[in-house]
Structure 1
Amino acid sequence: MRIGLMRQTIELWDTKKSVNEYGVEQETKELFLSCAAAVKHVGNEVVGDTTKGFNVTVEFTVRYNRYFKAPNNSMYIMWDGQEWDIINHNNWWSQNKYITLTAVKRSK
């Protein structure tokens, strides 16, 4: 992968659940990582039988960073003002060079 292809800036956000002083559970969003990425449109698909939905799938490729651990289901990507849910991550052959994050657009 050429570095010149990594020209989009993405932000990886983490949501953490905590209990406040009144005993109510609340979510706080925290910026985990901001980095350059290569973005590749993978495909579109129609989902659902009775109510049709439309999923847009995108692959984000970022350079390996020691600070970056494997994403969990509470993390999401902000790119171009839109939120993307991470559905898969891949560290290419465990060489710690590039990490590919497959994501779908977050539903409203």
Structure 2
Amino acid sequence: MPNVTIYIPAGHMPSDERLAELSSDCVKLCTSVLEAALENVHVIYVEVRHGHGHPVFAEVQYRFETFRTPRLMNRFMEALDDAIERCTGLTARIRCFGYAASNIHARN
């Protein structure tokens, strides 16, 4: 953890180069701002059929830590929003969900 999932409408999926840039930005944000270990960061893109709302939806799941304050998470979301807009040209809705370590059961 953290897991960053970005849902993008099929007709607006950026080039592989732009997605690689966005992936790099996401990894940097997770390792620097959220202080996550590199091997625990996952970034995926899901091509979707857009129905209603912002054209991009970003969901971030992370392990709750006391240093990940609302102020820090706001800084993270602002930077993620900027990266998504720069790499896709689209506006994103971003939602972050923190989970206590005792509520996470995981493999690999």
Q: TM-score band, normalised by the shorter chain? A: 0.3 to 0.5
- Structure with higher helix content: 2
Q: Which has the higher contact order (CA 8 A, sep 6+)?
A: 2
- Structure with higher strand content: 1
